[in-house]
Amino acid sequence: MGLKQPPPDPPHSNGKVITLQGTKNLIDAAKAAGVTKFILQSSLLTNAVEMGQKENPNFKFLNIFGGVLDHKLAAERYLRASGMTWTIVRPGGLMNEPASEVAEVLVAALDQTTADDKVVEIVSSPSAPVLTTDQCFVSL
pLDDT confidence band for 84 (50 / 70 / 90): very high
Answer yes or no: are the C-beta atoms of 62 and 45 closer than 8 Å: yes
Share of the chain above pLDDT 70, in %: 81
Which run of H or E residues covers position 86?
strand 85-92
pLDDT confidence band for 11 (50 / 70 / 90): very low
Name the DSSP letter for residue 20: I
